[in-house]
Amino acid sequence: LLALARAAGYKVWWISNHDDLAIEQQHARYADVVDMVNRTPGRASASLDGEILDCMQEALDDTSAERKLIVVHLMGAHPHYSLRFPPDANPFDDSVDAVETGLMKNGRSAWVRHYRHEYDAALLYHDFVVSELLQQTRSAGPPQEPRAWMYLSDHGQEVGHGSDRAGHSPATASGYRIPTVIWRRPQTPFADHAPQQPQQPFRADWAGWTLMNLLDIRWNGQRPERDVLGATYRWEAPTLPVAVESFER
C-alpha cells in the first residue's frame, strides 16, 4: 500500500510510538519520512501515545507535497495496561460498576477484574489521542481541500468477558473484534458512493482496498467488492479458529 501510494505521487509519513523492528523494516521503511518517537523495544515502554501528536502536526503542516499519506502507529492498549495512560489517570480503579458485578457473577478472577479497570483507563486515554488525531486532520489545510482519516486496530483483546484471562486472545472472539472509524470531507473522491448501510461488518485484512478508495488510486489488483465504502461491497465472513456469534455487533 505504501509503495502504491508513493508511485501515485503521495509523500508518505510513518509516525510510530511502537518500537517493533519487524514492522519498521517491512512497512515503515517504505515511507519518505519515518518518525520513531519510541525506541524501547517490546511492550515495557512507558512512552505515551500523545507523544506523536507534534509529529502529526508537523506532517500536516508540511508544504513540500500536494498529496500526503500519514500513517500513525500507536501502542494503543497493549499490555502492560498500566503503562498506557498517564499516572493518576485511572478513574475506574475504585468503583464497582455493572460490568464489574457481571464479571464477579461469572466467577472472573480478581486479577482479571483489576486488569479490566486498567484496560478501560488505557482505552480512555487512547480515545483522547485518537480524537486529537482526527481533530488535527479536520483542522489542517484549506476547508475545501479533500481529506480523509481512517482508524482501525490490528486485533482485539480479552478482559474477562469471554474467558477468565486478560490480554491477547486468539482463542476467543474478543481477540478478533476491532473498531473501525472512517471520516472524510464531502469533496473526497467517490463520496457519492455511500455504503450500503451506515454500519456493517468490516475486515481489517480488507482495509487496503478501502484505503485505495480514499486515496483515489486505481491499480490492476483492485477488488471493489472488498471496499467497504464502495457500491459493490460484498461482505464475506473470514475463516477464524473460534466461533463468532455475530459479525454485525
The phi, psi pair for 30, rounded to 5°, reads -80, -15
**Residue 99's domain is classified under what CATH number?**
3.40.720.10
Full residue range of the structural domain in which residue 194 is found: 2-226
Pairing of strands 68-73, 11-16: parallel
Render pLDDT for 46-93 as a digit per residue (tens, 0 to 9): 999 999 999 999 999 999 999 999 999 999 999 999 999 999 899 988
Tell me what the mean pLDDT of segment 130-141 comes to.
Answer: 96
Instruction: Give me the residue label for grid cell 494503543.
Output: 76
Look at residue 182 and tell me if it is in a domain.
yes
Look at residue 125 and tell me if it is in a domain.
yes
Residue 188 has pLDDT above 50, yes or no: no
Report d(CA 214, CA 83) in Å as an integer: 34
Report d(CA 231, CA 238) in Å as an integer: 21
Neighbours of 118 (CB within 10 A): 22
Helix (H, G, I), strand (E, B) or coil at 112: helix
Look at residue 137 and tell me if it is in a domain.
yes
Residue 41 has pLDDT above 90, yes or no: no
Helix (H, G, I), strand (E, B) or coil at 232: coil
Contact between 162 and 173 under an 8 Å Cβ cutoff? The reply is yes
Contact between 64 and 24 under an 8 Å Cβ cutoff? The reply is no
**Most confident range, picked from 177-181, 193-197, 245-249:** 177-181
The domain total for the chain is 1
Look at residue 237 and tell me if it is in a domain.
no
Report d(CA 15, CA 2) in Å as an integer: 13
Look at residue 87 and tell me if it is in a domain.
yes
What was the pLDDT predicted at 194? 54
Q: Give 175's DSSP letter.
A: G
The phi, psi pair for 229, rounded to 5°, reads -90, -10
Look at residue 86 and tell me if it is in a domain.
yes
Look at residue 49 and tell me if it is in a domain.
yes
Look at residue 199 and tell me if it is in a domain.
yes
Residue 24 has pLDDT above 80, yes or no: no
